[in-house]
Amino acid sequence: MQTLISDEVIARATLFAAIEGGSKFWSYEIDKVGPIAVLECLKSGIYAPEHHAAGKIAQVVRKFSGTDVLDRIHCFGASFITPEDSDWPIQLRDLTNQPIGLVLKGQRDRLSRLNKSISIVGSRNPTAYGIQVAELVAEGAVDCGWSVVSGGALGIDGAAHRGCIAADGVTFAVLGGGINKDYPISHTKLFEEISQTGLLISEVMPDVSAVKHRFLTRNRLIAALSKATVVIEAAARSGSIRTAHDAAELMRLVMAIPGSIFSPMSQGTHNLISQRCAEMVTSPQEVMELVMPLAVE
């Protein structure tokens, strides 16, 4: 346990454990008046109970302290990072619903590698073609000195992480649940490998389960953390398409790799291309040619 922790961090830890990630209202309030003031207002009942679940949140924050939250996070071998920290990823400040904080497990000193990173996302049920392409794009990024961000899910996400690790690169997995709730369970070994050289990143407490709405919420983090997003095999309606749109709204570069015109798994990527929401790329080399000018040292 750290010996010197600011009141702001303790307040954020309390709010982090009580407020579901992705709330524009609470993010705005914390940014406007600060976490300490928001916490005190919640405890005092100043917010209307029905306003953005303030009543329920107030009940939670009265039950424990931020130091208890930090102790619990540290018990899982993780750390808690907030916008007050010097190594907070500045890319997240582009979000209108910036996280209250993040739980990290792995090599925190690798956060600076996010300055040169791409996100690779796609279907949980890809074809062999999609898996191969994801691995090749990840390896191509590493060869050019870039890191890879993805969501730790089955399919394209897992292939991107594995391709990066195989090329001795640094990869970041933004999870839909807590760092102690491996999801999918079949990726337990992969998550261990990621934490050895990169980072597991979560917007919820370590023992919080992954559920559908949290995957949608975390997609904005995947989009914001990287300089560009590559979509490989995605259905017309999918979380990967949501990530692509989140990236576009943040003025990030979006790229899509075409697949078979007969494959429903490529319908979403083809739509992104035809609607001019994404640049069409057909090789790792083309991906990196577009990405390299975005590098920030």
- Taking the C-alpha atoms of residue 241 and residue 198, their distance in angstroms, rounded to an integer, is 25
How many other C-beta atoms are found inside a 10 Å radius of the C-beta of residue 216? 15
Dig out the tokens for 204 from the structure.
């919820």
Q: Can you list the residues of the chain whose pLDDT is less than 70?
A: 1-3, 296-297
Angle between helices 35-44 and 7-18 (to 10 degrees): 60
Q: Which residue spans within 171-291 are E strands per DSSP?
A: 171-174, 199-202, 228-232, 253-257, 279-280
**Considering Cα of 271, then 276, then 277, then 279, what sign does the dihedral take?**
positive
Maximal CA-CA distance, the chain:
59
| Complete domains list, the chain, with CATH | 7-79 (no CATH), 108-294 (3.40.50.450)
**Residue 212 pLDDT:** 87
- The structure's pTM equals 0.95
pLDDT attached to residue 2:
45
Q: Are 225 and 114 in contact (CB under 8 A)?
A: yes
Q: Which residues of 222-243 are buried (b: 16+ CB within 10 A; e: fewer)?
A: bbbbbbbbbbbbbbeebbbbbb
Pseudo-torsion of CA 245, 251, 252, 257, nearest 10°? 50
- Burial class (CB within 10 angstroms; exposed 0-12, middle 13-18, buried 19+) of 75: exposed
DSSP string, 81-112: E-TTSTTS-GGGGG-TT--S-EEEEE-GGGGG
Give the per-residue pLDDT at 296.
Answer: 62
How far apart are the C-alpha atoms of 237 and 40, rounded to whole Å? 41
